[in-house]
A and B are shown apart, each in its own frame.
Chain A
Amino acid sequence: MSELNEYVLSEELKEAIKIAEITKRPLLIKGEPGTGKTLLANFYANQNNLPLFRWHVKSTTLAKDGLYFYDALTRLNDSRFGDQSGRDVNNIKDYIRMEAMGQAFSFDGPCVLLIDEIDKADIEFPNDLLLELDRMEFSITETGEVIKAKERPIVFITSNSEKELPDAFLRRCVFHYISFPDQNMMKDIVKAHYPEVDKSLLENALSMFYQIRDINELRKKPSTSELIDWINMLLHQGANLKGTKEIPFIGTLLKSEEDLSKFK
């Protein structure tokens, strides 16, 4: 994946990952939207050649949803109409399907597990995962089978701070806050995406970008991913930003009408 070669890892984040590896604890990542929280797991898995299991949490997600799914309906159907699929109705195991966390725990060898946007779910959701994350094991109620990770997977958890996470959960994590990249770091990031970008264009674009970000009244400040889109746009249209007072294609940077109106 090309996008992964463009991921720029800060020293601080590297250190945090290392600590997560040593302590075998999940790495909880927070940060402004668009700072590459989710991408990190992809990048890490890719770099270390490890399989990645993704669990995207939604508002209705329950802790059990990430472990396994018992497909009672198919079983019922098979028992009624017979099956040609090779599933054995008498064997309940044929109807148990592992979900992301279950897959990671039953995987033979090291792997990466991403629990994305954990704060989206109910406020008690992280508490329901404490035991599973602590011991890296769970049991399947239907069969009594215990799934236990032979090797503790590296777990990345991202959060947008929509809800407070419970203390008991936090105690079990290593935490890193991805702060917004400074100008130098940002230069590296843009260059990783567009190696051919003209130096003066980049300077101008970045200074404009950080000026916009400095406006405190904005409802949503533009983030890295918006900057990347914007620079892509500028490159495509051959804009050079020299002596321009107006910001071209500002719609790629600011997404809310209220923010846009401040520039009109």
Chain B
Amino acid sequence: MTEKFQFDSKLKKNLFIAMGLGLVGLVLAFVLYPHNSHSRFWTNILVNSYYFTGIGIFGLFFVAAHQLGYGGWIVLVRRVIMSMSGFVFVGAPLLLLIALLTWGNVHNIYDHWLHVIKHPESLPESMTTKAVFFNLTFWTARIAVYAILWMLFARIITKYFGNITDKRSYKISKLIAAMWIVVFAVSESFVSWDMIMSIDPHWYSTLFGWYNFASYGCGALSFAILLTIYLKSKGYLAQVNENHIHDLGVFLFGFSIFWTYLWFSQYMLQWYANIPEDTMYWVKRAGTGFHTSMFVSLAINFVLPLLVIIKRGAKRNFKTISFVSVMIIIGHHIDFCNMVMYEPNVISTGHGEHGHHALNSNEATALYAENTEAVKEPAAATEHAATDAVTAKPEVKAAESAHVEAHGHEHGSTAKSYAGFGLVEILIFIGFTGVFLYMFFNELSKHPLVNEQDPYFKESQRHHI
């Protein structure tokens, strides 16, 4: 029996409706927020491509890790988890497109460093490293390499892992798994620095790659749970039972805690040490309404799984676990918006019609100013503002962070942020979910759902916890 998934037209129609909504969202974002070269439009594309691509490659990582770690239970749901990588063939090119469009100044996402590296003469000595790292050709080439590697491994793994039948293919699958884990570990860290952390080139956090990895994990496991339950409801995967969902739920729980652990480690260390370069990142977000979204994402991504799916029964109840999964997918989307949206959507008022070009040159100076300042003297005022803004009452915070903004952008100009989480974000997210699911089902329908020849098939069948 080689059961295959039938991608029927009704499902396709629903997904096309979702994509249509996304298209509406994109048009709205483009028309309604023309500031900063339509930054709201572009940042949304970046957030979604990045998030869903991450989910896809995490799926590959997850099956590879199980292959190396003798995880036998996964065999029945392996095809579902692997097929999430279908989106990589849309997402990775989109990320590359964003990188390429940087060349033509079509969007302003990376303007903060872009402008600086175009004028290396304005750089202080301590900033030359950034000019090397953000050499536009080198940077684009890196992203191209990740995109190619991901697509390559997505092809290899989805093709190979479903056909393990004997000792030889089993051994080769382990080899592929080991190779992919190395590729994944390196490319995943780098892409998080290249595409997300670099949006604010002053700020750096060594655990940022890990943090993104944990986010992918939460998203991917949530989707795996939802899709498995969906397929079961359609009569597929009859042998998958609540034990498999339970195990995925355990992983989801674990990854949610792991994510929180990393969030806390990053936040607490920067809050505690109170160095301006570090705290600016948080202060900026706190000052522009992202404070709320930070707590919303913590509530969804930490408190919810902690309270709800810690119980055995909850992980085995399809309704409960589905609800939590949906929430976590949304929660991590909000978190990525939190990381990406702020910088490009800030507009410096007081420069009139010059718009974002004025902002660019301004920020270039700011980059210089902030850094030399940070090195030469403790920048007492900023530091003070930074501490207070994180801890003080909301109204104080708003005032203080406005002060910080002004300080950062010099000349006493005030900054206004168009970043937000509104209708367009929701519509675009729905649209990308549609594309993600379309690519998933498309990939899923190509292969048999379960490989019954797999050496661990029987273990997975009898899986009981």
Mutual binders A and B: no
Which B residues form the contact surface with A (CB < 8 A)? Answer: none
